[in-house]
Amino acid sequence: MTAMHDISEIADWLHSHAIHHESSVHDTLPDPVFRVGGEQAVSFSTNNYLALANHPRLVEAAKAGLERYGVGNCESRLLGGDLPVYRELERRLGALKHKSDAVLFVTGYMTNIGVLSTLVKAGLLARLHGFRPSKRRKYAYFTDEYNHISIREGILMSGADKHTYRHADMTHLESLLKAAGGASPIIVSDGVFSMEGTIAPLPELTALAEKYGAMLYIDDAHATGVLGAHGGGTSEHFGCYSETIMQMGTLSKALGAIGGFVALEREMADVLRLTSSAYGFTCPPPPDQANALLAALDLLEQEPERRARLWDNQRYFVERMRPLGYTLTSTSTPIVPVLIGDAERCQRFARALRAEGVHVDAIQFPAVPPGQARLRFMLNAGHTRAQIDHVVGVMARLGATL
């Protein structure tokens, strides 16, 4: 038996049980309208919340970045790859999150892996530079059961103890913190949970973090640009700011480009830049993307009506769907999952929607627990009332037949 034989055996089994994934190839990207197979369709499952990915100002900013810097960076920022455009982007992202600094990573996934795997080992890594800690500490992570897989993998890579609390259950979290012994706690939660559409109870998390001397790490991937009066995310949504909070975000969702970041106080940012391999041993996002993101942040400030349209569309969709009798698992964010239950039935709904020119992701195990398959509707600033009326009409017909 060889390793290749093992992989072939797994592949054969997955294909025989129809568990392989074949994604359709689109002619264009959703904005939210796209073309697939020469036909026009409307996406209700795109992360491009503010319809900025194809905005002319982002395109022009990216072109200017290409003309100035070329296609790629090809250098670590710790060596010869740092540029003023990265520094300015980090400054702007820190300000958006009410923090004194931010650290830019190539993707949001790499941000979670890079930060969470490093936090508990920063003192050990700093010893390579001659640092000697006044006290050796043991750390433990406390993580919501529905946190994104990149969080779970970052914690696993850290080697630290992990305690999982029930989704948004602050009583359960506190019981785990009380039993933590001498370990220094780090609480980790999504800001908006991507499969549930729920918002983390940030004020309660912050209160527990301050009570138990914990750091609090919030993954604001689906909240940045979406929640808060200015798109600042979960902290702005609640008006909840604390030195204990580190705010992670992605740049490939509401801001329409690519990259990830963590906003935090400057002293901690300096430590991460020196100790995180995911920052120091790889390239940053291409400079044209950083240039485009500066334009996206400008639009976030200058066109608040985009976010207003997003929320108007969310409220209109929820209002139209409620009378149909479906279970909407959450209605607090632009992610509005419609619970179907059976995975195969959920796939039939998704196929029927596609036949009507609508794309909606069918979410099933292992992304959600068995028996909780759902259609994940994601509202967009670019949706029209006619498009929402159409998809609601299709769901009304499907409810009667499927």
The catalytic residue positions are: 194, 222, 253
| DSSP character at residue 138 | -
Whole-number Å distance between alpha carbons of 249 and 111: 8
Give which of 248, 198, 206 is closest to 97, Cα–Cα. 248
Strands (E), 130-270: 139-144, 161-165, 184-190, 215-219, 245-250, 260-264
With beta carbons less than 8 A apart as the criterion, state whether 116 and 158 touch. Answer: yes
* Straight-line distance from the first to the last Cα atom of the chain, in angstroms, rounded to the nearest whole number: 46
With beta carbons less than 8 A apart as the criterion, state whether 278 and 113 touch. Answer: yes
Is 363 strand, coil or helix? strand
Residue 5, amino acid: H
Give which of 121, 283, 263, 144 is closest to 201, Cα–Cα. 144
Is 282 strand, coil or helix? coil
Q: Which two tokens stand for residue 117?
A: 């795997």
With beta carbons less than 8 A apart as the criterion, state whether 287 and 293 touch. Answer: no
Q: Which two tokens stand for residue 46?
A: 């795109």
With beta carbons less than 8 A apart as the criterion, state whether 340 and 368 touch. Answer: no
Query: Is the Cα dihedral 52, 55, 61, 64 positive or negative?
Result: positive
- How many other β-carbons are positioned within 10 Å of the β-carbon of residue 392? 16
| DSSP character at residue 183 | P
Q: Which two tokens stand for residue 169?
A: 């259950």
Give which of 20, 14, 19, 48 is closest to 359, Cα–Cα. 48
With beta carbons less than 8 A apart as the criterion, state whether 333 and 198 touch. Answer: yes
Residue 274, amino acid: L
| Cis peptide upstream of residue 201 (ω within 30 degrees of 0) | no
